[in-house]
């Protein structure tokens, strides 16, 4: 029999609705806080069961709290996602058709790139080629800023990638719509956007997953075909740091 929803579960869900996405450690603290505040028995190792109870109630609403990992540091995150996969999921109600087109084109650039990043220059060059309505550069810069604030994109030194929340929410959409290029990480089996690939067999690994996998090996070899792994992997001795071009 499924566990009953309590005030602690409702409080946790409210916090998730406000935040959208939280890191694993924050979710653990939140779980403890909600149970203690609402005087519900707290089991420290039962976070996923606690979330499972909430998800049972969210199912008819086509929503779910989903677990995923951050592409750049490998940390676990929990995101409240919309499962109704219509027009780029829930984005359709929040943005204009022109803004959605810019997002789709940005997504194309990121997913088709070698390292999972798209430069602001390349994205802004697309703004005046949109079919729905051309966007001025200033306007496009503003829209990108909103995508970052809303946790669809992340930006670092003028380079954009998909935010962890976006990847958790849109994993199925991306795998379906980019079948030829979107791949899962060979180690953690979740979608690999910021990743490295084997030159011989083409498998992909997230940078944190590759770093963990190669640590302690005398020379890095592909976990799939055993060929030499030619990419530089951060944090692995004797190898340089990954650079984004």
Q: What is the domain-level CATH number for residue 134?
A: 1.10.10.10
pLDDT higher than threshold 60 for residue 143: yes
Same domain, 99 and 173: yes
**Are the CB atoms for 238 and 245 separated by under 8 Å?**
no
Task: Give the domain extent around 140.
Answer: 91-177
Looking at the fold, whether 97 and 74 belong to one and the same domain comes out as no
Residue the block writes with tokens 């011989």: 200
Alpha helices in the chain (DSSP H): 7-19, 24-37, 47-58, 91-94, 97-112, 120-126, 137-149, 164-177, 207-214
Domain identity same for 207 and 221: yes
The pTM (predicted TM-score) of the whole model is 0.78
User: Which DSSP symbol is given to 209?
Assistant: H
Task: Work out the pLDDT band at 240, boundaries 50, 70, 90.
Answer: very low
3-state secondary structure of 5: coil
Q: Is residue 34 part of a domain?
A: yes
Give the position of tokens 């027009």: 87
- Whether 7 is covered by a domain: the verdict is no
Angle at the Cα of 116 from the Cα atoms of 90 and 239, rounded to 5 degrees: 145
Whether residue 178 is predicted with pLDDT greater than 50 in this model: the reply is yes
The answer as to whether 138 is a domain residue is: yes
What is the CA angle 240-225-232, rounded to 5?
Answer: 10
pLDDT in tens, 19-64: 989 999 999 999 999 999 999 999 989 999 999 999 999 988 888 9
- CATH number of the domain that 208 lies in? 3.30.40.10
Q: Are residues 109 and 162 located together in one domain of the fold? A: yes
Cα→Cα distances 176→50, 171, 182, 208, 213, Å:
30, 9, 9, 25, 28
pLDDT number for residue 120: 93
Q: How many domains does the chain have?
A: 3
Under the banding of pLDDT at 50, 70 and 90, the label for residue 236 is low
Beta bridge partners of 228: 221
Average pLDDT over residues 97-106: 92
What's the confidence (pLDDT) of residue 235?
A: 62
| Shared-domain flag, residues 170 and 142 | yes
pLDDT at 73: 82
């Amino acid at each position: 029999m499924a566990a009953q929803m309590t005030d602690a579960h409702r409080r946790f869900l409210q916090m998730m609705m406000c935040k959208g996405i939280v890191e694993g450690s924050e979710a653990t603290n939140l779980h403890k806080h909600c149970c203690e505040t609402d005087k519900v028995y707290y089991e420290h190792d039962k976070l996923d069961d606690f979330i499972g109870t909430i998800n049972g109630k969210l199912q008819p609403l086509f929503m779910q709290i989903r677990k995923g990992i951050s592409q750049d540091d490998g940390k676990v995150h929990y995101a409240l996602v919309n499962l109704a996969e219509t027009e780029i999921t829930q984005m359709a109600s929040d943005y204009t058709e022109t803004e959605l087109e810019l997002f789709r084109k940005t997504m194309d650039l990121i997913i088709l790139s070698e390292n999972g990043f798209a430069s602001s220059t390349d994205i802004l060059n697309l703004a005046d080629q949109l079919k729905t309505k051309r966007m001025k550069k200033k306007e496009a810069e503003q829209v990108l800023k909103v995508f970052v604030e809303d946790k669809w994109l992340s930006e670092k030194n003028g380079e954009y990638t998909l935010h962890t929340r976006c990847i958790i929410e849109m994993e199925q959409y991306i795998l379906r719509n980019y079948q030829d290029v979107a791949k899962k990480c060979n180690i953690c089996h979740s979608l690999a956007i910021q990743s490295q690939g084997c030159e011989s067999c083409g498998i992909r690994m997230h940078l944190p997953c590759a770093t963990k996998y190669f640590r302690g090996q005398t020379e890095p070899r592909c976990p799939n075909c055993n060929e030499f792994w030619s990419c530089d992997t951060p944090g692995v001795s004797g190898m340089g740091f990954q650079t984004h071009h």
